[in-house]
Structure 1
């Protein structure tokens, strides 16, 4: 049997969303970029001004996003 995840203050809004049948991720208010996994600051610009938003779950990802440079990720569609 797999262990059940324990919500933390950083992840509680995500788990509340799953209980409501929603997918919620964080969005930076400073640079307007979405990101996941939950954390207190934006990994893109460093701002602590972040919010939780409901998203559709539909996205376009670059299959090579882990190997793309920042410029290439924008070119190949590696964004939520």
Structure 2
């Protein structure tokens, strides 16, 4: 799933002017950064986990987190 999101991120980033991205506050997280961030989570004893994806853009962090915890 993360690889598909990364392809979308690259396409959207390429097709959107830097000025427009800045106006919209769009700074989509690269897959590699999202994977690193997801690796920082420590497994606990509970199966319940809460993740606030601060960017909440195209879902890079959430996707990386899900892949990390599989």
TM-score (normalizing by structure 2): 0.29
From the two aligned structures, give the one with the greater strand fraction: 1
- More relative contact order in 1 or in 2 (CA 8 Å, sep 6+)? 2
TM-score (normalizing by structure 1): 0.27
